[in-house]
Amino acid sequence: MQADSIVRSERRFKGVGDCARQLYAEGGVKRFFKGVAPCMLRAAPANATCFFLYQKSAQFLGTA
């Protein structure tokens, strides 16, 4: 739904329920998890970097 057209007549989905029904029809429950693996692989280093920079900023500012 995020990448659906802004023009109402060109939209693929009518709403959240319609989106869920169409995705389930395309590939069952598995279709809802497309892209989870790359997202999880990206999350660990991204969150570690964010936490590290937060800590270094706090140390630099003298609040930690």
- Sign of the Cα torsion 4, 7, 13, 15 reads positive
CA distance 17 to 27: 16
In the numeric block, the tokens 């590290």 are attached to 52
Question: Which pLDDT does position 64 carry in this prediction?
Answer: 62
Per-residue model confidence as pLDDT tens digits over 32-46: 999 999 999 999 999
Contact call for residues 23 and 32 (beta carbons, < 8 A): yes
Contact call for residues 39 and 57 (beta carbons, < 8 A): no
Assessment of whether the complete model's pTM goes beyond 0.75 = no
Q: Put residue 35 in one of left, alpha, beta given phi > 0 → left and psi -120 to 50 → alpha.
A: left
Per-residue model confidence as pLDDT tens digits over 7-35: 999 999 999 999 999 999 999 999 999 99
